[in-house]
Structure 1
Amino acid sequence: MDPVWWFTSVILALWEAEVSGSPEVRSLRSAWPTWQNAVSTKNRKVSQAWWCMSVIPATQEAEAEESLEPGRRIN
């Protein structure tokens, strides 16, 4: 299995668990049949975009907080 496909499957499973409020991550096997469905693929791309959009501001915020620490050198 391609590492990118595996990583994408894990991200999608975690994102779906977060959205549904479920503490359990869904089985990655259930995501495999939806890969073949064009409608599900379209929805998956939207899900990936949401996931990326939430990570980028969090990363920028963390970097901004680090740069404000006393004695911290700015790169």
Structure 2
Amino acid sequence: MLTSVVASFCGVCEDYFEATVEAFVAFGIAGERAAQSSNVKGPGSFKVTFFDEIYNLTPEIIEKDRKVEV
């Protein structure tokens, strides 16, 4: 799934390195937020919650929660 996220980011950015780093950052933030969710009861509900977190990411959330800078 990460490869699909990276491809999506590369599709809208001319610098593929920066796009790849940003995709990894977004993927990691979504995973962390899903893991902290009270909706997660196991791997099935984690996957659904993770998809919801990816969908609901905003630039503000990414800037606030990021741990890596390019």
* TM-score, normalised with respect to structure 1: 0.38
More RCO (CA 8 Å, sep 6+) = 2
* TM-score, normalised with respect to structure 2: 0.40
